[in-house]
Amino acid sequence: MKEPLYAACMAYVQQRIQTATEAMVAAQESANAESKSSAGDKYETGRAMAQLERDRHAQLLADAQHMRQELEHIDPAAPPGPVVRPGSLVQTSAGNFYIAISAGRLQLNGQSYMAVSPASPIGALLRGKSVGDTVTFNRQVYIIESIL
């Protein structure tokens, strides 16, 4: 089950990279297309706003590329360990977690999984725990039933 979750996370990251790249190009084209008018301030404001938009998408692209790097450090075929670590599929009494990147809820084969980063609040609580351990997050108690 970890391989399809890994593939879903990679598809999520690739989509974010593609969207950010396309938005950056569009913002740059918008800045370049801004024509000089008799109202010079309007021209400069338009270019500055387009540049800010491009910079915002550049940051989103950098974040997505960082997520891809984190994901590339995970071997989805690695055997499960005795403790939760990046790449673990953790089944708890209150839900299933894939410790990889923060990709949100994933649906596979009729099951729901939360893809979370090991640095996220719930990921940090789960990391290093073993079967039978409990963690409390947002007043919800999670009992670790299995680590795959």
pLDDT in tens, 33-43: 765 554 555 55
pTM: 0.85
Domain-located, residue 7: yes
Residue 80 belongs to some domain of the structure = no
Domain of residue 125 covers: 89-147
Other beta carbons within 10 Å of 30: 16
Burial of 79-115, coded b for 16+ CB within 10 Å and e otherwise, reads: ebeeebbbbbbbbbeeebbbbbbbbeebeeeeeebbb
pLDDT in tens, 88-125: 999 999 999 999 999 999 999 899 999 999 999 999 99
Number of folded domains that form the chain: 2
